[in-house]
């Protein structure tokens, strides 16, 4: 272990000397600490390699609480790998990944990360095809997840209206008793966003939300994502520049596993490095 | 949406129809056996009573498999093992009931132990002279085996065809073990020559009828239990595990716990089926562990229709009735017929008989309305919820 690594180990973010901070900070172990003005996600010097190929190369990225952040990049830039690292599917070879001030994501299981408040919408919609839209949301609902609990539990009126609210939010209230396998592609994408919302996430990771959607559906998806920001922090990974321009405040460009540029859409589009990567050679 | 409490499962239409048909048929057979004298044309022989009881045991076993296969997507090719273990637990109790009426007249030791020159009862035979203890073991032994086996398999995320193969290996290994005389379960002869159960002679017609009733009640109870499970949120999670396990895991469900839960409940039901089966057929031997039995069981459920519960029951009864008839005419061809049936069902009616009936239900209904009273598929009718 290098001197730098041992220093980092000593000053791990979840073990900072609390007395050195101003004011009192009361955070129970395992609780998310991402209050006012703080970042909700800290990725620092993350490196992931598969058989020598570096999918992520010293990636450093911060997401502010409540912001809507778009991440773009050419194929193989490491967008999906980054999502995998955040959700615990892939472990980084080096680097730190913190959710709020206290939760070390590299040490939590996939299930624990989901419970801690990170929801992910996958690129390919994977709703439960044999369940209705309503049941899909019921399954995703933030609740005790044990087998015995599930056997004896009965849905409260509160839970029912919460599910219906979410159905209305994603525009599926009229189709709530339709089997999810019969929904259109766009509706499945929304249902999936709804399922992520039912987990009461602090941070939403949305992977290519508009792939294969009609223009109208794209518009509604943009509105939906914008309405979610503020209450949640939203990270959107997308190829479509037009779509990103229509929703984003801040854009991060990934290239070869690290951050190439960051800023508003205009700043990013005029950045010579970005132009080179996208149009270059 | 159905009422998801146990009471709700008991009073829903499908369960009521199911119990109506089941108890109706059982009472009819009982009546025909008990009321009419043997020389009457309407008399039903004790043989038929026992045969029906046997079918109902198979139906209960099929129900157990449908719960894990149809709903949870775990294709167990070793469910016969749990059935046989339940059967052996009951067989051990029945052996101890023989007492000194055996061939060797030994009050303490079953005949085969005397034959093997054993001087005392092995420790694992202790307690089986008590019915309550045997009854406990009927549930405990298959349940515990399923729990340990499932815990190891599901925790290691063994799924699909690999899981099917190791369940098959499990039942095969148990068969080989039970064939050995040293294990103390009667070797290849198994346990047989039973005299009475709870003091009632197994040769009496009334005992046979009572066993049929007990089987029907167990089947009905298991049906309601399974309806309750599949209608609860747990049932919906289990379906989700079947359709998209990694997604369910991602939402936060410990999918291996759910699979283990369902697998264990199913094994317990299979054990109960075995325990009811043994006093009716009068023998339990290691042949019950044979992998072929477990595969036949899968065919019953496939023929009836997966993930409907009553489909498994219909399939088990129909295929076994076919087997009884067929093996009477051409015994050597039965396995070919069974294999052909499985292929035909997989290719032409993947949803089984129930799926076929449900698909053609609207046109069938019209025909039935023209000829009221004609009612071939009363159980399929209930599933409209």
Q: Each residue of B95-141: pLDDT tens digit?
A: 999 888 888 888 888 989 988 889 888 999 999 989 999 999 999 99
Q: What six digits make up the tokens of B228?
A: 């309750």
* A32 domain-assigned: no
Rounded mean pLDDT of A83-97? Answer: 89
Q: How far is B16 from chain A (nearest CA, A)?
A: 21
Q: What would the two tokens of residue A85 be?
A: 């690292």
Continuous H helices in A3-146? 3-10, 79-87, 110-116, 133-140
pLDDT band at residue A268, thresholds of 50, 70 and 90? confident
* Gyration radius (Cα) of chain A, Å: 20
Residue A39: pLDDT band by 50, 70, 90 thresholds?
Answer: confident
**Phi, psi (deg, nearest 5) at residue A31:** -95, 150
Joined together, the tokens standing for residue A26 give 């009361």
Give the percent of chain A with pLDDT over 90: 17
A112, A32 in Cβ contact below 8 A? no
Q: Does A25 fall in a domain? A: no
Instruction: CATH number of the domain at A265, please.
Output: 3.40.50.300
Q: Which of the residue ranges A246-260, B69-83, B214-228 would you say has the lowest mean pLDDT? A: A246-260
Indicate the SS3 state at residue A21. Answer: coil
Letter string b/e over residues B100-125, b meaning 16 or more CB atoms within 10 A of that residue's CB: eebeeeeeebbbbbbeeeeeebeeeb
Other CB atoms within 10 Å distance of the CB of residue A56:
27
Q: Residue B385: its pLDDT value, please? A: 37
Interface test with chain A among B3, B155, B225, B236, by most A beta carbons within 10 Å: B236
3-state secondary structure B93-130: HHHHHHHHHCCCCCCCCCHHHHHCCCCCCCHHHCCCCC
Place of tokens 């039970």: B178
Instruction: Please say whether the dihedral angle defined by the alpha carbons of residues B188, B194, B197 and B202, taken in this order, is positive or negative.
Output: positive
In a domain? residue A125 = yes
The pLDDT of residue B382: 40
Q: Which two tokens stand for residue B267?
A: 């094994």
Please list every residue in chain B whose beta carbon sits closer than 8 Å to the beta carbon of residue A138.
233, 236
Q: How far apart are the first and last CA of chain A?
A: 40
CA distance B318 to B341: 12
Among the listed ranges B98-102, B155-159, B162-166, B238-242, which one has the minimum average pLDDT value? B98-102
Residue A22 vs residues A16, A30, B172, B363: alpha-carbon distances, Å: 13, 21, 68, 77
pLDDT > 70 in chain A, percent: 88
User: What sign has the CA pseudo-torsion B77, B78, B84, B89?
Assistant: negative
Model pLDDT, residue A37: 62
C-alpha of B94 from chain center: 20
Question: Residue B240: which of A131, A146, A154 has the nearest Cβ?
Answer: A131
Residue whose tokens read 């469910």? B79
Query: Residue B377: which pLDDT band, with cuts at 50, 70 and 90?
Result: very low
- Region A100-114: mean pLDDT is 84
Is the per-residue pLDDT at A20 higher than 60?
Answer: no
The pLDDT assigned to A100 comes to: 84
Question: Residue A193: enclosing H or E segment and its boundaries?
Answer: helix A185-197
Contact A77, A258 (CB under 8 A): no
- Distance separating alpha carbons of residues A251 and A230, to the nearest angstrom: 17
Nearest to B234 among A128, A131, A147 (CB): A147
pLDDT over 50 at B374, yes or no: no
Sheet hosting strand A94-99, strand order edge to edge = A53-64, A39-50, A94-99, A103-104
Instruction: Tell whether B253 lies on the interface with A, counting CB pairs under 8 A.
Output: yes
User: Quick one: pLDDT band at residue B301, thresholds 50, 70, 90?
Assistant: very high
Which alpha helices (DSSP H) does chain B contain, by range? 6-11, 13-35, 46-66, 79-98, 111-115, 131-155, 160-179, 205-231, 233-243, 245-251, 255-281, 291-304, 310-329, 334-348, 352-359, 361-370, 378-382
Specify the higher pLDDT residue, A252 or A36: A252
Residue with structure tokens 């008839």? Answer: B325
Range name among A117-131, B51-65, B124-138, B308-322 with the lowest pLDDT average: A117-131
Given a cut of 80, whether residue B367 has pLDDT beyond it is no
pLDDT of residue A25 exceeding 70, the answer is: no
| pLDDT computed for residue B364 by the predictor | 75
Interface contact B241, partner A, CB < 8 A: no
- The larger pLDDT score, comparing residue A157 to residue A101, is at A157
Residue length, chain A? 281
| Distance, CA of A222 to CA of A234 (rounded, Å) | 12
Nearest to B240 among A120, A139, A155 (CB): A139
Counting residues of chain B whose pLDDT is more than 90, the rounded percentage is: 56
The band of B173, judged by pLDDT with boundaries at 50, 70 and 90, is very high
Whether the per-residue pLDDT at B341 is higher than 60: the answer is yes
- Please state, in angstroms and rounded to a whole number, the distance separating the CA atoms of residues A80 and A98: 18
Helix (H) or strand (E) holding A203: strand A203-207
| Contact state of B247 with A115 under an 8 Å Cβ cutoff | no
pLDDT at B375 over 50: no
- Choose between B366 and A172: higher pLDDT: A172
Lowest mean pLDDT among A167-176, B260-269, B355-364: B355-364
Residue in this structure with the two tokens 């035909």, named with its chain if needed: B344
Count of domains forming chain A:
1
pLDDT at B162 over 90: yes
A21 band by pLDDT with thresholds 50, 70 and 90: low
Name the β-bridge partners of A118: A203
Q: Rounded to a whole number, what is the distance in Å from the CA of A270 to chain B's nearest CA?
A: 39
Residues 279-338 of B with CB under 8 A from A: none
Residue appearing with tokens 């709903």: B71
Domain that holds residue A63: 3-14+38-279
Return the minimum-mean-pLDDT range out of A71-75, B2-6, B106-110, B134-138.
Answer: B2-6
Residue B288 to residues A37, B87, B88, B274, Cα–Cα distance (Å): 69, 9, 10, 9
- Comparing alpha-carbon positions, the chain A residue that sits nearest to B262 is A147
Q: Which residue has the tokens 């395992």?
A: A30
**SS3 (DSSP) at B80:** helix
Closest to A43 measured CA to CA, from A57, A59, A56, A32 = A59
**Least CB-CB distance to A130: which of B243, B251, B257?**
B243
Count of CA atoms in the C-beta half-sphere (13 A) of B313: 25
CA gap B175, B69 in Å, rounded: 23
Alpha-carbon distance of B36 to B34, in angstroms, equals: 6
Give the number of other Cβ atoms within 10 Å of residue B81's Cβ: 33
The answer to whether the CB atoms of B252 and A195 lie below 8 A apart is no
In this structure, is residue A200 part of a structural domain? Answer: yes
Decide if B151 touches A, using CB distance below 8 A: no
* pLDDT one-digit tens code per residue, B30-86: 888 888 888 887 888 888 899 999 999 999 999 999 999 999 999 999 999 999 999
**pLDDT above 90 (res B145):** yes
Q: Which has the higher per-residue pLDDT, B263 or A230?
A: B263
pLDDT greater than 80 at residue B376: no
B135 contact partners, CB below 8 Å, separation of at least 6: B275
What are the DSSP E strand ranges found in A36-159? 39-50, 53-64, 68-72, 94-99, 103-104, 118-121
Per-residue model confidence (pLDDT) at position B379: 46
Q: Each residue of A198-215: b (16+ CB within 10 Å) or e?
A: bbebbbbbbbbbbeebee
Q: How does strand A39-50 pair with strand A53-64?
A: antiparallel
As a whole number, the mean pLDDT across chain B is: 88
Contact A58, A95 (CB under 8 A): yes
CA end-to-end span of chain B, whole Å?
A: 8
Higher pLDDT, B297 or A116: B297
Cα-Cα-Cα-Cα dihedral sign, residues A132, A135, A139, A141: positive
- Compute the distance between CA of residue B156 and CA of residue B148 in angstroms, rounded to an integer: 12
């Amino acid at each position: 272990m290098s001197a730098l690594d041992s220093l980092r180990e000593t000053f791990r973010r979840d073990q900072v000397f609390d007395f050195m901070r101003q004011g009192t900070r009361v955070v129970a172990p395992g609780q998310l600490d991402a209050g006012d003005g703080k970042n909700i996600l800290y990725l620092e010097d993350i490196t992931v390699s598969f058989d020598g190929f570096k999918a992520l190369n010293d990636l450093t990225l911060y997401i502010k609480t409540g912001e809507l952040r778009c991440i773009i990049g050419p194929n193989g830039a490491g967008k999906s790998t980054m999502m995998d690292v955040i959700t615990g599917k892939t472990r980084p070879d080096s680097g730190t990944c913190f959710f709020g001030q206290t939760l070390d994501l590299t040490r939590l299981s996939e299930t624990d990360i989901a419970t801690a408040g990170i929801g992910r919408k996958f690129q390919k919609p994977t709703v439960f095809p044999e369940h209705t839209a309503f049941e899909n949301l019921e399954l995703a609902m933030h609740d005790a997840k044990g087998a015995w609990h599930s056997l004896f539990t009965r849905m409260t009126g509160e839970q029912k209206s919460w599910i219906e609210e979410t159905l209305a939010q994603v525009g599926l209230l009229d189709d709530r008793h339709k089997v999810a396998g019969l929904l259109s592609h766009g509706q499945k994408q929304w249902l999936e966003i709804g399922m992520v919302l039912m987990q009461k996430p602090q941070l939403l990771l949305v992977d290519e939300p508009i792939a294969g959607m009609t223009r109208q559906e794209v518009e509604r998806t943009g509105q939906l994502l914008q309405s979610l920001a503020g209450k949640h922090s939203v990270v959107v990974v997308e190829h479509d520049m037009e779509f990103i321009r229509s929703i984003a405040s801040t854009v991060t460009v990934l290239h070869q596993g690290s951050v190439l540029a960051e800023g508003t859409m205009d700043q990013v589009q005029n950045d010579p490095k970005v132009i080179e990567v996208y149009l270059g050679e | 949406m159905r009422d998801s409490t146990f009471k709700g499962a008991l009073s829903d239409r499908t369960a009521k129809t199911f119990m109506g048909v089941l108890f109706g048929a059982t009472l009819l057979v009982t009546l025909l056996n008990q009321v009419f004298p043997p020389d009457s044309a309407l008399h039903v022989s004790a043989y038929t009573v026992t045969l029906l009881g046997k079918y109902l045991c198979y139906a209960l076993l099929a129900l157990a498999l449908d719960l894990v296969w149809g709903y949870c997507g775990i294709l167990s090719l070793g469910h016969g093992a749990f059935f046989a273990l339940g059967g052996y637990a009951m067989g051990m109790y029945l052996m101890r009931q023989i007492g000194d009426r055996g061939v060797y007249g030994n009050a303490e030791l079953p005949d085969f132990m005397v034959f093997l020159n054993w001087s005392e009862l092995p420790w694992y035979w202790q307690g089986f002279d008590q019915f309550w203890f045997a009854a406990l073991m009927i549930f405990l032994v298959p349940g515990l085996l399923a729990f340990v086996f499932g815990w190891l398999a599901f925790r290691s995320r063994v799924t699909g065809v690999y899981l099917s193969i190791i369940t098959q290996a499990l039942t095969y290994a148990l068969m080989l073990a039970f064939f050995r005389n040293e294990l103390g379960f009667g070797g290849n002869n198994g346990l047989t020559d039973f005299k009475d159960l709870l003091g009632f002679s197994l040769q009496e017609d009334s005992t046979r009828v009572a066993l049929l009733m007990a089987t029907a009640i167990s089947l009905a109870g298991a049906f309601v239990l399974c309806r309750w499970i599949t209608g609860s949120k747990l049932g919906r999670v289990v379906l989700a595990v079947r359709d998209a396990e990694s997604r369910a895991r991602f939402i936060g469900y410990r999918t291996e716990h759910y699979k283990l839960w369902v697998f264990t409940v199913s094994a317990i039901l299979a054990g109960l089926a075995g325990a009811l089966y043994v006093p009716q057929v009068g023998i339990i031997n290691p042949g019950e562990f044979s992998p072929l039995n477990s595969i036949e069981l899968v065919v019953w459920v496939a023929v009836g229709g997966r993930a409907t519960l009553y489909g498994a029951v219909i399939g088990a009864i129909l295929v076994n009735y076919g087997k009884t008839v067929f093996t009477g005419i051409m015994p050597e061809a039965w396995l070919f017929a069974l294999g052909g049936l499985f292929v035909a069902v997989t290719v032409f009616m993947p949803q089984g008989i129930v799926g076929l009936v449900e698909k053609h239900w609207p046109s069938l209904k019209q025909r039935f309305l023209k000829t009221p009273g004609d009612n071939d598929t009363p159980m399929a009718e209930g599933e409209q919820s």
